[in-house]
Amino acid sequence: DKAIQGAQLAGGACVVEDTSLEFTALGGMPGPFIKWFQNKLQSEGLYNLLAAYDDKTATAKCTLAFSPYPHADPIIFTGTTTGTIIEPVPGRGFGWDSIFVPDTPSEYNNNYEIPFSCMSTEAKNRFSHRGQAVRQWADWLGLNHSELFEIQCGRPATGDKAPSFKSLPAE
């Protein structure tokens, strides 16, 4: 709904993003409520939520919804990164970056736990849930740039002349 409303307000394309962080031990919580949990508890409090549990695994998800024109159903792109929650580690980043260690190839991390907050921007974008979703969107834009350009140039986007967008190949 947000992407559709945004496209209507903008009179053109709109993309919105939502992020969730699901703790396995808590049955997927805080999930999409991570922003509010982070604001109230900070990273230390989020880590402490798992203190009584052996299972510190988590899944980070990013969902991008892209509405290419007003009233268009959004196209959804989802990135998922599994990892582990650790005690907060100072570094760059924001939100819960200091407690989330993504499952990364050992050739990258030499088997050390490296949270998002200690990764370079390039590495974080390579391994992150958001980076995955943005790459999917970019690939889709590459497949559909001609149709999108025609919409921007005034081609009707409804009725018999509505654009037919190509889908990304299944992984």
Q: Given a cut of 60, is residue 160 above it in pLDDT?
A: no
Q: Given a cut of 80, is residue 124 above it in pLDDT?
A: yes
Closest CA relative to residue 65, chosen from 15, 99, 131? 15
Closest CA relative to residue 136, chosen from 167, 104, 163, 164? 167
Read off the pTM: 0.85
Class of domain 2-161: alpha beta
The token duo for 135 is 């790459």
31-82 pLDDT tens trace: 999 999 999 999 999 999 999 999 999 999 999 999 988 888 899 999 999 9
At residue 110, the pLDDT reads: 63
Domain regions of the chain by residue span: 2-161
Q: Residue range 96-109: average pLDDT? A: 82
Q: Assess contact for 85 and 58: CB atoms under 8 A.
A: yes
